[in-house]
Structure 1
């Protein structure tokens, strides 16, 4: 045995291989992550919405309601499971006014709208984004009131239901707009084709090294 016979020689481990299915899922999870989903939803909805005027109370003629809502920073989490999906909470601060017989009462409210965003694939190579809006009773609505304003709200029966319903109609309208629907289907092949020239320019040097032919004769001054 030589002096080196008992010395362990470290052999670099081969990188673990992965299946194409694993690669596809890992790619989507890393590219379409939570922060990017929130950014897309925020851009779709914009900064504020106008609600109304809508009728409220008995026969929807007892009072008229007009409101302006401002979207606040959203939060979200990835939903555990085999599918790629996110639960996004959309907070909306709302200033609204109730007009009853020309008497206007103003209120502030906070709505929390939970939305589910799901990713899936369709042939040939399209990434689909499905947005599932909540049921009306899943929308949280908290109104800031004092005793006088509380009495006004009690007179306008079903107002909170109307506000939730109107909010859902607004969001349905926003997500149904043609330019929004277009980004709900992303052609990944076209995306790669469009990016390929820039990718090649980035990976390949502008001036490649000169080709060296091992069989060529050496220059005379080196002999």
Structure 2
């Protein structure tokens, strides 16, 4: 659940520039907008392999899956920071040359997302790349033998490293990065221009 910030003390009709800036950031950097900065990867497929795992890398892993929609929780303090969790579902197969074993993995990828202000009136959202050790992974095997093979081949660790690297790479694609850089100055110019009165031809003529 998102923690609500305490209201700033100010006059009912006026506030300081510092108060305005803090209020503006609270209104601008909402969970929905933060999620919008990474939701471009939701629904993207994951497809990798064959990849060698285990002793001698003899076993080959092939996996297919999909990235789900993230959830956000605001962390206390400043700068404004959220913890995002991105779910990933994977179905994969270990090929031991003579036989194949099938598994399913539910993975949760945690991200720390922080909003910063810049002197040129931008809001820049930084995303800390996921650490493989921080991923939560629920591994299910089809049968006792498959579970044993998973432990022998260290599938858990290999999947953590691959998924963390894959999500980090997706988050650095140009169209995703662009959503994390908001030019507030341009928005102000557009809003101000829209409010400015337009002088008609008759007004201009009468003023001469």
Please tell me whether the aligned partners of residues 51 and 167 of structure 1 are also in contact (alpha carbons under 8 angstroms). Answer: no
Q: Which residue of 2 aligns with 1:93?
A: 89
Q: Which residue of 2 aligns with 1:64?
A: 60
CA distance in 2, matches of 1:171, 1:122: 27
TM-score for the superposition, normalised by structure 2: 0.80
Q: Which residue of 2 aligns with 1:192?
A: 188
Q: Which residue of 1 aligns with 2:78?
A: 82
Of the three residues 150, 156, 178, the one matched with 1:153 is: 150
Q: Which residue of 2 aligns with 1:117?
A: 113
Please tell me whether the aligned partners of residues 45 and 174 of structure 1 are also in contact (alpha carbons under 8 angstroms). Answer: no
Residues 1:33 and 2:30 aligned together: yes
In structure 2, list runs of 5 or more residues that go unmatched: 1-10, 201-208
CA RMSD of aligned residues (A): 2.5
Relative to structure 1, the CA distance from residue 38 to residue 183 in structure 2 (aligned partners, 3 Å threshold; closer, same or farther) is closer
Please tell me whether the aligned partners of residues 112 and 140 of structure 1 are also in contact (alpha carbons under 8 angstroms). Answer: yes
CA distance in 1, matches of 2:91, 2:181: 35
Relative to structure 1, the CA distance from residue 120 to residue 103 in structure 2 (aligned partners, 3 Å threshold; closer, same or farther) is same
CA distance in 2, matches of 1:195, 1:99: 60
What are the superposed Cα offsets for residues 21-58 of structure 1, whole Å, 9 maximum, x if unpaired?
Answer: 22112212212201221233122344322233321112
CA distance in 1, matches of 2:148, 2:67: 28
What are the superposed Cα offsets for residues 125-166 of structure 1, whole Å, 9 maximum, x if unpaired?
Answer: 12111001232111011111231211221331x221111111
SS of 1:18 mapped into structure 2: coil
Q: CA deviation at 1:85?
A: 0.8
TM-score for the superposition, normalised by structure 1: 0.75
CA distance in 2, matches of 1:19, 1:53: 60
CA distance in 2, matches of 1:73, 1:92: 9
In structure 1, list runs of 5 or more residues that go unmatched: 1-13, 208-223
Of the three residues 164, 167, 172, the one matched with 2:163 is: 167
Q: CA deviation at 1:16?
A: 4.7
Please tell me whether the aligned partners of residues 97 and 106 of structure 1 are also in contact (alpha carbons under 8 angstroms). Answer: yes
Q: Which residue of 2 aligns with 1:131?
A: 127
Aligned residues: 190
CA distance in 2, matches of 1:187, 1:39: 16
